[in-house]
Structure 1
Amino acid sequence: MTVEGPRAYNTVWQMRSDAWCRLEEAAEVLTAPAEPQERERQVEAVAELLRHLTPVEPYWAFPGTLQFAKIARRFAAGDYSKFARAVARVNRALTTDSYRRGDVDDLSQEDSGQRGIGDFATGDPDAPAAPDRLYFEVLVVDSLTEEQERTLRQELRNWRRADADFVYELVFVGSAEEALIAARLNVNLQAVVIRRHFTHHATRDVSTLSDFIDLQLEDDLTGNETPDERASILAESIAHLRPELDLYLMTEIDVESIAGRLGENFRRVFHAREGMLELHLSILQGVADRYRTPFFSALKQYSQRPTGVFHALPISQGKSIVGSHWIKDMLTFYGLDVFMAETSATCGGLDSLLEPTGPLRDAQKLASETYGSRHTYFVTNGTSTANKIVTQSLVAPGDIVLLDRNCHQSHHYGMLMAGAQVVYLEAFPLPEYSMYGAVPLREIKSKLLALKRAGKLDRVRLLSLTNCTFDGVVYDPLRVMEECLAIKPDLVFLWDEAWFAFARFHPDFRARTAMAAAAALREKLQDPQYLADYQASIDDVATASDEDLLSRRLRPDPAKARVRVYATQSTHKTLTALRQGSMIHVYDQDFGQKTSEAFHEAYMAHTSTSPNYQILASLDLGRRQVALEGTEMVVRQIENAMQLRDAIDTHPLLQTYMRCLRTSDMIPEEYRPSGIGQPLRSGLRNMITAWGTDEFVLDPSRVTLSIGRTGYDGDTFKRDLLMDRYGVQINKTSRNTVLFMTNIGTTRSSVAFLVEVLVKLAREIHNDVEDMSLSERARFEQNVHRLTTPTATQPDFSGFHSAFLDPTEGIEQTPEGDVRRAFYLSYDDVACEYLTDAQIEERIDAGGDVVSATFVTPYPPGFPVLVPGQVFSREILSFIRNLDTLEVHGYNPELGYRVYTDKAIEIALADNRRRAAAARSEFVSAPAARATVHAAATPASAALADSGDVPTPSGESARGRRKARAAEPAEPNGQVGAAAE
């Protein structure tokens, strides 16, 4: 029998689960007759499995340290029959989760038939089990004897009530080191009780867990602290690792003073001799608070009330369906409850999404606490709308926005709606796989410094980036924001985390989320040591050139920098919510003073007055889920993704035709100072190192599979093989890759099914290749060569035509363009024409410019290759021509590309020159006066109307929606370091 060690796994959860399954099989074999030599091998196999389980079992309540010790003693005594029965009971309880329901026998009572550890009804061991109760575990940190542990456990059990909604069991550890181990390993934990008498280091050997844990307590504890100081430091460490856990402190002395000093680190502080009942009730209340779903509960209660609907929505309570002769199958398919909860009412216990004052307000507040934001808002029509809401609330006409060129199309539409002057940022290319990565920090800083030299930094408002990208490239938001604020202290950040909502609930991924980074940045700016470091660097920075500033890590002035961060998340994409359920998270120090009114106006402008209550309720429920089991689900998700990688990369046939791309394949070396090519697969410590130091890291929940050696392009492989033949659904492909995205709903069975499908396809391809004639083999090899050879250089943003560039003058020309003016010019057919790519190439060869009149967006992934006002290039045409996706928005296969006529560009250019002349004549030093010039500028389409060629587009009236920013006080030009002095 072969036994896999812990290094075959990335999480203890998976290793523990498999080890118990193998232990049951091995124990069963021990009960059968066998030759002495064979029996010796069987015994050694069981002993090896027990050695793997011994260091991890103390951190779970079931089967618990005492029960596991009894099982081990039966094995050591050679009582293999009882040993096998005990192992079978434990494994079945773990596999089916029946231990949560209380139907597991205590091993010590198996002969008498009494119930033990699994009985969660009351203190009465004969009371019936309560399968409907929700089970969790509580960690107690204290140096206790076995008898003291047994007494404390029984005391808390005695307080149980039969009508309680929740039931819990205790896990005991005696040291700070083990407390952190338990917090990382045991996903059943919901609360931690810290008592005064615990040690620093573990008394048992924990070295075998080094692949799964990386303890950060060594730098915090010296061993010389008072008991209260140790408790406070441990609480902070646990809160950093698992912020969702409720922390309680129990002390014997000076409890009133300690509560005043340490209360912010704990939910409650109790006196050890007086607080057992209060502790018990507080633990239950803490979980109940997170379990609460204000809006879902209100909607469910409303659905059970008889109503008379004399308003909208005939479908309410199913009344237009129940009596129908022709659509009763709708009721059969969806069920009655979904219609009982349909209503257009905003009262009667419900609430208004546009002006919440009741359960919706409470639900959003709970979401804010769970996601670590200052404010959270529910959105019922997707993150596309969430992006537009945030953009419109922050950006006014004439503001300059730095935008990732490869971001989702909703950002581009948001910019034109707001009237922003857009500076597009270039991501690093991956030509071997025909995809783009993320925007390097050096690229962002270079654009900010150029705008500073041009005297335009006061107009820079927003930086918008996608974290993480569709292909899984993750930024370091803390570093990006820190260095950008050193140049522009009041810069606002929008992080599109449509695909990254789950990361909040993984201990190692959380730091790279927008909300966690915002909180960490604010804490950093308030740190006295940071202020000292900043002041020590002022002189060096003051004399540095721009090139030096690009190469060094910059620090913002803590007296000037403001933490203003927004994140948009597609909850429905990576967590539990109905389709289009999204959230906006806000961590903005100036929200109430500068943005709240504009935000609520933008929210009302883009939000339906008839929102889908089912979506809102699902967001409320999804929040409950991640607040109570988010860590467990995300840890399992990552383990499933890693098992998928291992299954593909170690299969001999799959290795021939497919390969999972590594971090080193997706992120160039210059952005990985750690030098670690496969961070998670080389151990947790390596992953933590890479995620702490590298500019970009790779989301391990995504598996990008290189398929060039199959001879199929990505779209054909997806459509003809995976989807049509096997029903495997995926979204993103490139010329030679397909992307598999795991989520919290991914199961081991679904991973096994995908591996099975890939093996079948590889076997078919292999058999076909072996049967090919010479000519067929040559064509196949040509296809493989084409798909495995890097394409021509991927095109950068070719730039806006000068007719749409900023007309104001500075020290140097900067690249921001007026997408809005270019977009609305295309509303008039006379200004546009259609050209094929061949005709466009002819014009380019003749030295002319061809300017796009529309967004041209391949989908997926949904980011524009061309935007209105952008100049065509040969590289762009070649890139689009070689795309493997069939869906390209903005391109008409019969007519070609919609572009501006030469006459339209000529008039737009003349208009821009007039605007430039007006800007020069009226140019003054005050930024607000320059903003006035932008707000009052005449659109080029109006000049076309004056020429008699084109009528004025009615869309331009949208410019009047926002007040000119000229009325705002002038904001100072941001400076770097000592330049601000």
Structure 2
Amino acid sequence: MHRTILTLITEPSDSDTALAGQMHRVSAGLEELQFRMRWTHRGEDAMAVVGSDASLAAVLVSWEVPGADGLLRAVAERFQRLPVFLVSSGEDPPLWVYEVVQGYLYPLEDTPDFIAGRIAHAAERYAEQLLPPFFGALRRLENHHHYSWHTPAHAGGVAFLKSPVGRAFFDFFGERLLRTDLSISVPELGSPLDHTGPIGDAERNAARVFGADRTFFVVNGNSTANRVVAHHAIARDDAVLVDRNCHKSIQHALTITGARPVYLVPERNGLGLAGPVPPAALAAGAVRERLAAHSPPAGDPPYAVITNSTYDGLCYDAVRVGELLAESVPRLHFDEAWFAYARFNPMYARRYGMALDDRTLPAGRPTVFATQSSHKLLAALSQSAMLHVRPSERAPVDYERFNETYLMHASTSPLYPMIASLDVATAMMDGPSGAFLTGEAIVEAVRFRQAMARLAERVRADPGRPDWFFGAWQPPRVTDPRTGRTTDFAEADPELLATEPACWTLEPGASWHGFDGLEDGYCLLDPIKVTITCPGADAVEGTLESGIPARIVAAYLGRRGIVVEKTGDHTLLVLFSMGITKGKWGTLIDALFDFKNAYDGGVRLDALLPGFGPPGASLREFCDAAHGTLRDSDLGGLLDRVFTDLPEPVLTPAECHAALIRGGTERVPLDELPGRVVAATVVVTPPGIPMLMPGEAAGPADGPALAYLRALESFDLAFPDLAADVHGVRRDPGGRYLVEVVRR
């Protein structure tokens, strides 16, 4: 495979000058050495290559070409240690250029082969230094072509070649993947269980890059990382502070340990989105009151867990959370499954767990754990996760003992390409590339958000069209803190939106977000997590008179090959990861506009979504009927009651699980649920917050939980194509809900 040498010089490639002739001979020499020269005399073309081609192996620049200074700055901002040579003309560049370039080339003084060899040597050294510890060791080992006498039994893929279906598998994934699927018996790679050798080096490198004291690679997903932290930090009958907006893996950890959860309740708004736990609820006095009110009264908690950022992109000031909880707990765990990139962009300063150190929180800091699902929004393979630790004097971490808990959850047969992907994801964030890649994702998200806002304005201004369009959940106006000038979001400076956190912080009392009890700077909306809003709900008022249910829109987008991350009653979540392109988000906007035209034009539902909904209805008629049911049943208001008036805890999750596996539970319909103790988590997605946890009482027939579940069941029966995703609920043959409860 040819690697790229970018060349920006004064001469076009078709010039007949002596310099051009010599550079053609250098290019031929590079071709023989498996390098390809991309030659231009225009600075803007060179900038485009730097911004889009990650295969660059070296850059040659003539300083006198217009745009050369911008090119050198762009190289320094994106690449770390990329070889840069000045093609000298005798002019002295500014001093900062010497910090970027590696040396000079004098094309008319040295032979073409010498110049090509010098460039190739620098490029080879760069390529070797580019590889992080484990991935580099894995590549070197794969190149040795050893016979495999250990597990796995496919022996580098050879076993697959002995079967027709195995051959199809081999051809699909390729020999290199299968040759690197190795056993932990390979000493050259170290041990993922003892954290030795190249694997240990890779974890230590990740700790440096992510700002931790120690980092552990976890190849069973962030769910396992959560269970490791909680299993290490808490024991049976401990009272622990748990963000009610927690992932189910936290509930699994409670089940494993036998601890007693005391829940911290996040805010919710009229769109059904989960907000932050308000700062007043995290203060020491409020925590003491909550512990005292728990049944039975709870003692001092050894641990608290906070979800940061939320599924919908709400990020705490993590240092402020540490200040508030420091008096209450010696260990603080941030579940940052969706937030692994936060350290690498100034947008998120102070908003990630490893930002808590002795400098930002000097007095009485708790030990901090951060668990990150690296594959979600970094470039890593699925199930790849990291667990970061920053210990404190209050709760020292004995890593050998911590590793005993880690071993209880770690696989002794990990997939080494997954470990390599964690190593590479770390390297991609190291140095200037981390800021470049995260900044690029933010820029694309800002462009999409502004494009949506401008299109909505154009629709409203067109007298020939109904004036509705989809929105994006974001502040309608932003203020530049440097000038004090306030502008509409659609017309704001894109660079301001992409770099200024103040544009995204949730101001206390602002109606656009609909959350109460906030402090200045306490919470920020992550620009790359975009919530598209459908007509029919408001962040403050909730469900409105008319509207379009989001599940219908999601079904339409799915038929167009567009799959969103999450669907609510009137919201769709899309994620702007590092893999998003303008073509990708432009296609989404086009599909949303086509949906609007179909709705306004009375297009039949079966023409858009064959087999979906009642026959003969138009898209608009189906939307009106479904939205009317949502409105009349007040599902949003009922769900607010569920999360405001928490159920009574009766048993621990561990006690419920023991009943479950010993035949001490049964499934009952909603009519038999009043007064029963649930044995499985009941989670409605969205918003994804548990409404009933194992061991909690379902409450009376007219209580919030039963009222909501009955209304949701009725909606599902009336609109089976729009049925909610309810974890912990089974359906009988007629579609009625069945809930697992403890036998009386």
Q: If the TM-score is normalised by the length of the shorter chain, which range does it land in? A: 0.7 to 0.9
Q: How does 1:433-444 map to 2 (within 5 A)?
A: 433-444=271-282
Counterpart secondary structure, 1:320: helix
Q: CA deviation at 1:335?
A: 1.4
Q: 1:362 aligns with which of 190, 201, 206?
A: 201
Q: How does 1:770-809 map to 2 (within 5 A)?
A: 781=624, 783-784=626-627, 791-793=636-638, 794=640, 795-796=642-643, 799=646, 801=648, 803-804=650-651
Match of residue 542 from structure 2: none
Q: 2:681 aligns with which of 832, 849, 855?
A: 855
Find out whether 1:619 has 2:445 as its counterpart: no
Question: 2 CA distance for matches of 1:776 and 1:727?
Answer: 19
Match of residue 727 from structure 2: 889
Q: CA deviation at 1:405?
A: 1.2
Q: 1:760 aligns with which of 589, 594, 602?
A: 594
Question: 1 CA distance for matches of 2:303 and 2:213?
Answer: 19
Q: CA deviation at 1:888?
A: 2.3
Match of residue 832 from structure 1: 665
Which amino acid is 1:823 matched to? H
Match of residue 249 from structure 1: none
Q: Specify whether residues 149 and 305 from structure 1 end up closer, same or farther in structure 2 by C-alpha distance, changes over 3 A only.
A: closer
Q: 1:699 aligns with which of 503, 522, 526?
A: 526
Match of residue 605 from structure 1: 408
Q: Specify whether residues 853 and 503 from structure 1 end up closer, same or farther in structure 2 by C-alpha distance, changes over 3 A only.
A: same
Unpaired segments ≥5 residues, structure 1: 1-60, 68-85, 111-115, 121-131, 139-144, 168-283, 527-557, 666-673, 805-817, 906-981
User: Which stretch shifts more, 885-894 or 739-748?
Assistant: 885-894
Which amino acid is 2:447 matched to? Q
Question: 1 CA distance for matches of 2:97 and 2:578?
Answer: 38
Q: 1:317 aligns with which of 132, 156, 173?
A: 156
Match of residue 162 from structure 1: 119
Question: 2 CA distance for matches of 1:775 and 1:163?
Answer: 64
Q: 2:501 aligns with which of 680, 687, 703?
A: 687
Which amino acid is 2:318 matched to? P
Match of residue 82 from structure 2: 135
Deviations 1:918-969 (A, max 9, x none): xxxxxxxxxxxxxxxxxxxxxxxxxxxxxxxxxxxxxxxxxxxxxxxxxxxx
Instruction: Provide the alpha-carbon RMSD of the alignment.
Output: 4.2
Question: 1 CA distance for matches of 2:672 and 2:293?
Answer: 37
Q: Specify whether residues 900 and 680 from structure 1 end up closer, same or farther in structure 2 by C-alpha distance, changes over 3 A only.
A: farther
Find out whether 1:330 has 2:169 as its counterpart: yes
Question: 1 CA distance for matches of 2:451 and 2:470?
Answer: 12
Find out whether 1:877 has 2:716 as its counterpart: no
Question: 2 CA distance for matches of 1:299 and 1:118?
Answer: 37
Q: Specify whether residues 461 and 885 from structure 1 end up closer, same or farther in structure 2 by C-alpha distance, changes over 3 A only.
A: farther
Task: Check whether the contact 1:313–1:344 (CA below 8 A) recurs between aligned residues.
Answer: yes
Question: 1 CA distance for matches of 2:704 and 2:389?
Answer: 39
Find out whether 1:467 has 2:297 as its counterpart: no
Structure with the larger strand share: 2
Query: What TM-score do you get using the length of structure 2 for normalisation?
Result: 0.73
Question: 2 CA distance for matches of 1:676 and 1:463?
Answer: 40
Structure with the larger helix share: 1
Task: Check whether the contact 1:855–1:866 (CA below 8 A) recurs between aligned residues.
Answer: yes
Find out whether 1:376 has 2:202 as its counterpart: no
Question: 1 CA distance for matches of 2:587 and 2:708?
Answer: 35
Which amino acid is 2:525 matched to? L
User: Which stretch shifts more, 640-649 or 652-661?
Assistant: 652-661
Q: How does 1:477-492 map to 2 (within 5 A)?
A: 477-485=318-326, 487-488=327-328, 490-492=329-331
Match of residue 248 from structure 2: 409
Task: Check whether the contact 2:273–2:687 (CA below 8 A) recurs between aligned residues.
Answer: no
Counterpart secondary structure, 1:429: coil
Q: CA deviation at 1:635?
A: 0.7
Question: 1 CA distance for matches of 2:585 and 2:619?
Answer: 34
Which amino acid is 1:157 matched to? G
Find out whether 1:90 has 2:43 as its counterpart: yes
Task: Check whether the contact 2:649–2:696 (CA below 8 A) recurs between aligned residues.
Answer: no
Q: CA deviation at 1:590?
A: 4.6
Which amino acid is 2:469 matched to? Y
Match of residue 349 from structure 1: 188
Q: 1:506 aligns with which of 341, 345, 349?
A: 345
Task: Check whether the contact 2:650–2:696 (CA below 8 A) recurs between aligned residues.
Answer: no
Task: Check whether the contact 1:386–1:582 (CA below 8 A) recurs between aligned residues.
Answer: yes
Find out whether 1:649 has 2:453 as its counterpart: yes
Match of residue 567 from structure 2: 733
Question: 2 CA distance for matches of 1:418 and 1:892?
Answer: 27
Q: How does 1:169-188 map to 2 (within 5 A)?
A: none
Q: 1:581 aligns with which of 359, 384, 394?
A: 384
Q: Specify whether residues 681 and 495 from structure 1 end up closer, same or farther in structure 2 by C-alpha distance, changes over 3 A only.
A: farther
Task: Check whether the contact 1:799–1:870 (CA below 8 A) recurs between aligned residues.
Answer: no
Q: Specify whether residues 837 and 504 from structure 1 end up closer, same or farther in structure 2 by C-alpha distance, changes over 3 A only.
A: same
Counterpart secondary structure, 1:826: helix
Query: What TM-score do you get using the length of structure 1 for normalisation?
Result: 0.56
Match of residue 449 from structure 1: 288
Find out whether 1:742 has 2:576 as its counterpart: yes
Question: 2 CA distance for matches of 1:643 and 1:62?
Answer: 31
Q: Specify whether residues 146 and 402 from structure 1 end up closer, same or farther in structure 2 by C-alpha distance, changes over 3 A only.
A: same
Task: Check whether the contact 2:239–2:259 (CA below 8 A) recurs between aligned residues.
Answer: yes
Q: Specify whether residues 802 and 332 from structure 1 end up closer, same or farther in structure 2 by C-alpha distance, changes over 3 A only.
A: closer
Q: Specify whether residues 136 and 403 from structure 1 end up closer, same or farther in structure 2 by C-alpha distance, changes over 3 A only.
A: farther
Question: 2 CA distance for matches of 1:155 and 1:87?
Answer: 19
Which amino acid is 1:162 matched to? I
Task: Check whether the contact 2:83–2:122 (CA below 8 A) recurs between aligned residues.
Answer: no
Question: 2 CA distance for matches of 1:835 and 1:593?
Answer: 47
Q: Specify whether residues 523 and 678 from structure 1 end up closer, same or farther in structure 2 by C-alpha distance, changes over 3 A only.
A: farther
Counterpart secondary structure, 1:360: helix
Counterpart secondary structure, 1:95: helix
Find out whether 1:713 has 2:527 as its counterpart: no
Q: CA deviation at 1:582?
A: 0.4
Find out whether 1:638 has 2:464 as its counterpart: no
Q: CA deviation at 1:315?
A: 1.8
Counterpart secondary structure, 2:138: helix
Task: Check whether the contact 1:714–1:736 (CA below 8 A) recurs between aligned residues.
Answer: yes
Match of residue 180 from structure 1: none
Task: Check whether the contact 1:133–1:165 (CA below 8 A) recurs between aligned residues.
Answer: no
Q: Specify whether residues 776 and 612 from structure 1 end up closer, same or farther in structure 2 by C-alpha distance, changes over 3 A only.
A: closer
Q: CA deviation at 1:728?
A: 0.8
Q: Specify whether residues 776 and 385 from structure 1 end up closer, same or farther in structure 2 by C-alpha distance, changes over 3 A only.
A: closer
User: Which stretch shifts more, 875-884 or 100-109?
Assistant: 100-109
The share of aligned pairs that are identical, in percent, is 24
Unpaired segments ≥5 residues, structure 2: 1-5, 12-38, 73-78, 86-90, 106-114, 461-466, 478-484, 506-518, 537-545, 608-615, 717-721
Counterpart secondary structure, 1:512: coil
Counterpart secondary structure, 2:411: coil
Q: How does 1:905-944 map to 2 (within 5 A)?
A: 905=744
Q: CA deviation at 1:578?
A: 0.4
Task: Check whether the contact 1:860–1:885 (CA below 8 A) recurs between aligned residues.
Answer: no
Question: 2 CA distance for matches of 1:680 and 1:788?
Answer: 34
Q: CA deviation at 1:101?
A: 6.2
Question: 2 CA distance for matches of 1:850 and 1:385?
Answer: 31
Mark the structure with the bigger radius of gyration: 1
Match of residue 243 from structure 1: none
Question: 2 CA distance for matches of 1:439 and 1:409?
Answer: 18
Q: CA deviation at 1:836?
A: 1.4
Deviations 1:134-176 (A, max 9, x none): 73789xxxxxx96664995899514994354459xxxxxxxxx
Q: CA deviation at 1:500?
A: 0.7
Question: 1 CA distance for matches of 2:101 and 2:429?
Answer: 31
Q: CA deviation at 1:117?
A: 9.4
Counterpart secondary structure, 1:376: strand
Deviations 1:567-591 (A, max 9, x none): 0001100001000000001111259
Deviations 1:72-92 (A, max 9, x none): xxxxxxxxxxxxxx9983232
Task: Check whether the contact 1:823–1:869 (CA below 8 A) recurs between aligned residues.
Answer: no
Q: Specify whether residues 377 and 153 from structure 1 end up closer, same or farther in structure 2 by C-alpha distance, changes over 3 A only.
A: closer
